[in-house]
Every structure is written in structure tokens, then in C-alpha cells.
Amino acid sequence: MHPLLRRLFEEHIGQGTALPPGWGPFLSAVDRAWGGAEPGEEPAVGEATFRALAETISAAVFVYRGTRYVYVNAAATALTGYSAEELLGMEFWELVHPDHREVVRERGMARQRGDRVPSRYEFRIVRKGGEERWVDFTSATVQYGGEPAALGTAFDVTDRRNASDELRESEERYRALFEESRDAIYMTGEDGRFEAVNQAALEMFGYAREEMLGMELRSLCVDPADCEAMDAEIARAGFVRDHEVRLRRSDGGVVDCLMSATRRSGERGAVQGIVHDISERKRAEAQLAYGAFHDPLTGLPNRALFLDRLAQAVERVRRRDGAALAVLFLDLDRFKVINDSLGHGTGDELLRALGARLGEALRPGDTAARFGGDEFTVLLEGVSDAVVATHVAQRILDSLARPFHLSRSEVYTSASAGIALHSGGSASPEELLRSAGTALGRAKARGRARCEVFDRAMHAEAMDRLQMEMDLRPAAERGELRLVYQPVVSLPEGGVAGFEALLRWEHPTRGRVLPEQFVPVAEETGLIVPIGEWVLEEACRQLRRWRERFPGRGVTVGVNLSPRQFSRPELVERVREILADTEVEPSALRLEITESLLIEHAGPTAAMLARLREAGVGLCMDDFGTGYSSLSYLHRFPLDTLKIDRSFVMRLGSGGDAEPIVRTIAALAHNLGLKVVAEGVETAAQLEELRALRCEYAQGYLFSRPLDAEDADRLLEDDPRW
Ligand code: C2E
Ligand code: CA
Ligand code: CA
């Protein structure tokens, strides 16, 4: 078959067009007509035969001589949009897109000169109307109409070109993605060295491209085990997803990375991967974790973290690979007063400064924590000795006793500490803390600004207290509580003006328990509220009996109230009800309150006191001089009596030094219109001085111990004069 014919045939087939019926015999006829010319020879083909053939194929066929078309087939008119007549009137180059004309012209000239140039190339043509199409163009020299001419066949390859353009574009997109990605992207060779890295990789790790190419990925690993694990996984599965690795920057900084990598096809160790910098997220996570375990105000570990550390330390002691430990429980002595009087801002500032000072006072391995409010805890590891622990605690207390220079004030404070030691045994962290807390309670009870070590006796006492707490609950129902009455003597006359009701607990096995032992327990547990109510009722019932039996004597009774009872707003209403039920004149009842109530619950208390005063009840400031000893706030509360604490009265008479103090207190109280009671009067000398200081009332063993109601009755009947 003639080569040109074969080519036309193949291209026809190649275009996927079905062969027209009878095509085979027709081709054979053409072949014969062409006379089986040898390859390379210019075929002599009859024009009619050629046309008959050319009209049937889908390739566009152009025959041109010089620059003029002399023949075009139907496919050529379809391709170009021009009619055959129009094309035959056109110059060859007019169809060619201006961008390609030069190339096409050069090739045509080269062929005319006989150069061996590719006979097949692609260029764009411009269709009628301006649309551009890509064509795959093949040209050959033929004899046409007896003269040499150029035969061109063209296929529309626009779609294929567009597809490859898209491919190229997408390659460009990938390149842009690669270069502009904020994630580092890399490829390594079989030797694990970087072969390609993007800009982000250079920035992430702080290298120049020349430096980084050729480096091993492994050399960046902070922990080589991380990279080994990743390599192992890639070797096993062919890829890793979101593998967390810490990589090192050129400047030594660490980047927390999330890496995904795939083994590149065919090559065993060669990998391509992407590295996402999660340092920011890690920092945020660390921040969150920090926040969960630290006190935001002081930055110290919080209760949760302290308990965790303590539990670990206890566990180490148990396994004997840790030495003993000591737990310190610290509490500010007057924080509430500072907070209330100077404001929360100052309170916070003080806690912050205190936290910092606490940190400074510790040894490196010790843990200080803010346990809550003004409570701090310290874990001293390796301390088994009470002397050493006390020494550390004392050093801390000393450092906290130095003045704090805060932005708006200079604050002096002190703290108390309780210590619990652990050197084995089965103590749990909770028990240790409870023990330290018990020791702290002891330190406070013994006058504050000191530390106490929890010991066996304290333990026994704590157990005892626990037992007492359990016994106290049903005590009131079982009728184990009763009141005794201590006479209050009117000083000018020396007769009984009234009594102070004092609580006693007749414990079935312990015998008579004094209020110092059980009132604090009752306060702590809240039992003081029902008990206090019972005291009020009982005292008023007794008062009522005395007022009936000794009319005109103006007998009064003082009842002690706990601060805790003031946390109940219904207190005032209960007092009114009890007075009404027992039909007692309100002025015959005197409620004794302490300074701490006024300081620590100032706001609501003042209102409640005012309402009690309105109801006609007398109000007495008890134990004056033991607490905050500030006369300045007394006028803010509707008091009518002030009771000078027995610690001052004790130091009166026979060379005591308290006379000026008591004189000042009495004078100020009188100035405020308050009557003065002196309690704890034991000697005649004290009585003399109190008389001289114009105290209105006195109370004490000198006159009488607290009495049972019947003994008090007898006393009223006898009514001695002192
Ligand atoms: P307080 O209110 O200061 O009561 C006076 C205490 O001093 C009583 O102790 C009394 O027995 C004691 N006393 C009286 N004269 C003398 C004296 O000449 N020398 C000495 N050294 N002491 C004297 P008591 O009865 O043991 O009460 C102790 C504290 O218990 C009371 O101190 C009071 O704060 C509290 N308390 C007693 N009864 C009640 C109560 O019903 N309710 C509340 N909330 N507290 C109570
Ligand atoms: Ca009292
Ligand atoms: Ca008192």
C-alpha cells in the first residue's frame, strides 16, 4: 500500500470513524491506481481518485501550491468554518494563528529547500469568526494535477491540548501549593536525606535551602526514638498519619510537629511528607493543663496538683525509694479582716505577694500550693524530723511576718502553721493533710503566729473531738444540756442585777463537759444553731420564772450568741418569738456577742443587731480587749453594755499593770453611753479598783460561781450585798 494512503487510512481508523461499506476493495483499487510507488517516492495519483478518497475521511485535507489552496475536503471546511470556495480564495497562512505563522512559514520554506524537517507539528488555526483551534498537522509533497503541491492533513486536537494545558496548570498549582504551603513539605531519598524542601520547611527549621538539602531528617529529631518509630511505621504500612514528633530548629528551638509521610512508589527508603507545626496548639494545651493545676492568682500549684504530688510522694515513701516527708498547713491569721477592711483588691495583692514570698522561702524540691482562700500547703520531701520541719515552717512564718509593701498600703500579717510528718506507715494524703490541719488548729488556739507539730496526743485529741462531735448531736434531745447562771452584781448597790446563762453538758460517760471543749465543736459543725436556740428558750423560761417570783427586782439574763447563729437571718424572728412565747420583757434579755462577729460579719450583722435593738433587747459586747480591741467601730453598733475581758480584770489590784487600760476602756465606753461590766472578778482588790473606775456591773468567783437555777433562786431570796 502506498505510504500516504496507509497514513490516511491509519489516521482515519485512528479517528475512530467506522469504515464505509466497500472501503476495503476501494482502497485496493486506489493502491493499484497509484501503482505501488515505493516509500519516499512522490505518488502520481489521479485527481479524481484522490478526491473520491479524501472526501470520505474525517481528517481535514488541504492541497496547496505556493501559498494558495488548490483543494480542500469537506472535513477542512468543517474544521475551519469557511466554505470550500472561501478557502480556495485564501492564502495558506491566513488560517494560521499569528503566533504560529513564522514557524509555519519557516518550515514550509525549509521543505521547499529540501530540508529534512519534521513533517508533523501542532499549531493553532483561526476559524472563521475568530475561534481558535489546535491542529495536528502533517504535510507531504505530492504531485497534484501533474504539478508538485503540498498536501496537508489536519486533525483538531484542541481538546487534547486543553487537557494537557489543564495538566500543566494543575502541575503549576501543585508547585504553588508546595512552595506556598504553610506546612513544611519535603522529600527524602533512600538515604533519608532531604532531596526537596519547600519554603515553609526552611522557615520552620531556620535553614537555607542549600543547608537543608542533604541533611538527614533524623538529625532534626529531638528524641531519636520518635523518628525511629515513624520510620518503622512507614516501613511497615507505607505511610504515617499525624505522627507527633518534636524537631529541632537551627537555633536550638523546638518545633512540635504533626507529620504525615508516605513512602514514594518504587523506592524503598524514599519518603515524601508534610509537617504541620502544632507548637502553638501545644502551648495552648500546656497553658490549659497549667490552668487546671495552678492557682491563677498566685501561680502556685492548686489543691488538685498538691494532692497529686503528695500522693506520689506518699507512694514513694511506701515503696521505700523516697525518704520521709512533711506536710505543712499554713493559714493567715487575719486575712479576713484585711480583706474586709482594705478591700478584695488588696486582699488579692497580699495573697499574690505572699505566694511569691512562700516560693522564695522554700528549698528547690519543695512544693508550695495555694490550697484555697488564705490556706497554703507545703510538701517537704526528705524531711523526717520534727525539728527540721519546724525550722522550715518557722523560716516561712518569719518571712511572712515581714511587712508587705502593697500598692496602696503596707500590710502586716502573720500566719500559723501545722505540721504533719510521714515516714512510713499507712497514712493517706488525706490523713496527712487532716493531721496538719489539726496541728494548725492547735497553733491558732495557742495564740497564732506559731507552728505546731501533729503528734500522737493530738491524734488522740482529734479522735476524741470526733467522738464528741458524734455525741453532741443527740445531746440536746437526750436532755444532757443544761444551763447554769452566774450572778451579775450591780456595783453601786452590791446586789444581784441578773445572771449570765452558761451552757453545761452532762455527758453520760465524760461527766460535766465545759463549753470551751464542746462549743467550738458545736460551732464548727453548725450544731450551735439548734443548741443556741435551745439556750435562748431555756434562759427565757428561767427568766420568766424569776420575773414572776421576784417581781419588781428587774432580774436580767445574759445569753451568749455565737457568730455562727448570725449567719441565720431568721435569728431575729426566733428571738422575738421566744420572748413572746415566754412572755418576757425584751429589755430583761441581754445578748452577748463578741468582737469577731462585728469584724467578720460586719454588713448583715449590723442590720440584725439594729433589729434586735429595735425589739428592745439589750446587746452586750463580750470579752472586750481580747480580739481586735478597736474602740473605733463600737459606735457603729447599737450596743448598750461592754464587758471588759477577765484577762484585764485579772491584772487589776495588788500591783497589776492593767489599770490604765481598763480606765481608758471604761471611759470610752461611758463616752459612747455604754454600761461597763467587769468579768472574772476574783479579789476584793480588783473590786475596789473597778468601783473606783465606775464600772456599773461586776461578775466573778468573788461573788459566785455559776449556779444551778435552784441555787440562783436561793441567792435572789437572800440577796446578799457585796
Ligand atoms: P464567757 O461568755 O466569757 O463566760 C464567762 C466565763 O468565765 C464562764 O466560763 C465562767 O464560768 C467564767 N468565769 C466567771 N467568773 C470567773 C472568775 O472569776 N474567774 C475565772 N477564771 N473565770 C470566771 P464557762 O461557763 O466555762 O464558759 C466559757 C465560755 O463558753 C463563755 O465565755 C462563752 O464564750 C461560752 N459559752 C458558755 N455558754 C454559752 C452558750 O450558751 N452559748 C454560746 N454561744 N457560748 C457559750
Ligand atoms: Ca459571756
Ligand atoms: Ca466573757
Distance in angstroms between the alpha carbons of the first and the last residue of the chain: 156
Three-state secondary-structure class, residue 67: coil
pLDDT at 266: 59
421 beta partners: 326
167-181, 461-475, 585-599, 692-706: which has the highest mean pLDDT? 692-706
Which element (helix H / strand E) includes 471?
helix 456-472
Pocket mutation for ligand 1, best pick of 524, 560, 624 (most atoms within 8 Å of C-beta): 560
The answer for residues whose C-beta is within 8 angstroms of residue 176's C-beta and 6 or more apart is: none
The answer for residues whose C-beta is within 8 angstroms of residue 129's C-beta and 6 or more apart is: 81
* 630: confidence class by pLDDT, cuts 50, 70, 90: low
The answer on pLDDT for 638 being more than 50 is: yes
Does residue 682 have its Cβ closer than 6 Å to ligand 1? yes
| CA pair distance 639, 23, nearest whole angstrom | 130
In terms of pTM, does the model score above 0.75? Answer: no
Alpha helices in 601-654 (DSSP H): 602-614, 646-649
Three-state secondary-structure class, residue 623: strand
pLDDT at 40: 47
Which residue, by CA, sits nearest to atom 13 of ligand 1?
Answer: 680
Question: H/E/C letters for each residue in 549-614?
Answer: HCCCCCCEEEEECCHHHHHCCCHHHHHHHHHHHHCCCHHHEEEEECHHHHHHCHHHHHHHHHHHHH
Q: What is the amino acid identity at position 41? A: E
| CA pair distance 663, 652, nearest whole angstrom | 11
The burial class, CB within 10 Å (0-12 / 13-18 / 19+), for 297 is: middle
Higher pLDDT, 56 or 272: 272
Tell me if 60 sits within 8 A of 155, measured CB to CB: yes
Does residue 646 have its Cβ closer than 6 Å to ligand 1? yes
The answer on pLDDT for 326 being more than 80 is: yes
* 458: confidence class by pLDDT, cuts 50, 70, 90: confident
Does residue 625 have its Cβ closer than 6 Å to ligand 1? no
Q: Quick one: which of 316, 292, 287 has its CA closest to 303?
A: 292
Mean pLDDT for the chain? 86
- Dump pLDDT digits (tens) for 181-230: 889 999 998 888 999 999 999 999 999 999 999 899 889 999 989 888 99
Pocket mutation for ligand 1, best pick of 502, 646, 703 (most atoms within 8 Å of C-beta): 502
- Dump pLDDT digits (tens) for 22-64: 445 545 554 554 444 444 444 455 667 777 778 877 889 888 8
pLDDT at 28: 52
- In this structure, which residues have their CB less than 5 angstroms from ion ligand 3? 622-623, 679
Residue 702 CA: nearest ligand 1 atom is 18
- Please tell me the least confidently modeled range out of 43-47, 103-107, 134-138, 302-306: 43-47
| CA pair distance 421, 357, nearest whole angstrom | 23
Higher pLDDT, 50 or 355: 355
Pocket mutation for ligand 1, best pick of 679, 682, 697 (most atoms within 8 Å of C-beta): 679
Dihedrals phi, psi of 678, to nearest 5 degrees? -110, 125
Q: What is the strand order of the sheet 194-197 is part of? A: 194-197, 184-188, 271-277, 254-263, 239-248
Which-ligand-closest: CA of 566?
A: 1
Which-ligand-closest: CA of 680?
A: 1
| CA pair distance 641, 670, nearest whole angstrom | 9
| CA pair distance 14, 509, nearest whole angstrom | 117
pLDDT at 269: 74
Does residue 413 have its Cβ closer than 6 Å to ligand 1? no
Residue 515 CA: nearest ligand 1 atom is 30
The answer on pLDDT for 16 being more than 60 is: no
pLDDT at 686: 95
Which element (helix H / strand E) includes 152?
strand 147-156
pLDDT at 645: 93
Please, what sign has the CA dihedral across residues 92, 96, 102, 108? negative
| CA pair distance 720, 495, nearest whole angstrom | 6
Tell me if 105 sits within 8 A of 93, measured CB to CB: yes
Q: How far from the centroid of its chain's Cα atoms is residue 221's Cα?
A: 30
Q: How far is CA 182 from CA 114, 188, 218, 224, in A?
A: 56, 19, 21, 25
pLDDT at 20: 42
Q: How far is CA 233 from CA 195, 220, 240, 242, in A?
A: 21, 18, 6, 12
- Please tell me the least confidently modeled range out of 32-36, 78-82, 604-608: 32-36
User: What pairing do the DSSP bridges indicate for beta strands 675-678 and 697-698?
Assistant: parallel
| CA pair distance 486, 34, nearest whole angstrom | 149
Q: Quick one: which of 526, 523, 504 has its CA closest to 515?
A: 504
pLDDT at 19: 41
Does residue 533 have its Cβ closer than 6 Å to ligand 1? no
The answer for residues whose C-beta is within 8 angstroms of residue 103's C-beta and 6 or more apart is: 121, 123
- Dump pLDDT digits (tens) for 279-299: 988 888 888 778 888 998 999
Tell me if 124 sits within 8 A of 134, measured CB to CB: yes
CA of 645 from ligand 3 middle (Å) equals: 6
Locate 76 and state its grid cell. Answer: 477542512
The answer on pLDDT for 18 being more than 50 is: no
Average pLDDT over residues 562-585: 94
| CA pair distance 354, 375, nearest whole angstrom | 11
- Dump pLDDT digits (tens) for 135-182: 988 877 777 777 778 888 888 988 888 888 888 888 888 888 888 888
Cβ atoms < 10 Å from Cβ of 327: 30
Three-state secondary-structure class, residue 712: helix
| CA pair distance 571, 567, nearest whole angstrom | 8
| CA pair distance 526, 535, nearest whole angstrom | 15
Locate 629 and state its grid cell. Answer: 480591741
Three-state secondary-structure class, residue 89: coil
276 beta partners: 258
Percent of the chain with pLDDT over 70: 90
| CA pair distance 264, 266, nearest whole angstrom | 6
Residue 57 DSSP class: S
CA of 438 from ligand 1 middle (Å) equals: 24
Average pLDDT over residues 402-415: 90
Please, what sign has the CA dihedral across residues 35, 36, 39, 45? positive
Angle at 712 between CA 609 and CA 554, to 5 degrees: 50
| CA pair distance 601, 609, nearest whole angstrom | 11
| CA pair distance 10, 50, nearest whole angstrom | 16
- Strand positions, DSSP E, 302-366: 325-332
Which residue, by CA, sits nearest to atom 22 of ligand 1?
Answer: 680
- Dump pLDDT digits (tens) for 253-262: 999 999 999 9
Cβ atoms < 10 Å from Cβ of 519: 20
Does residue 680 have its Cβ closer than 6 Å to ligand 1? yes
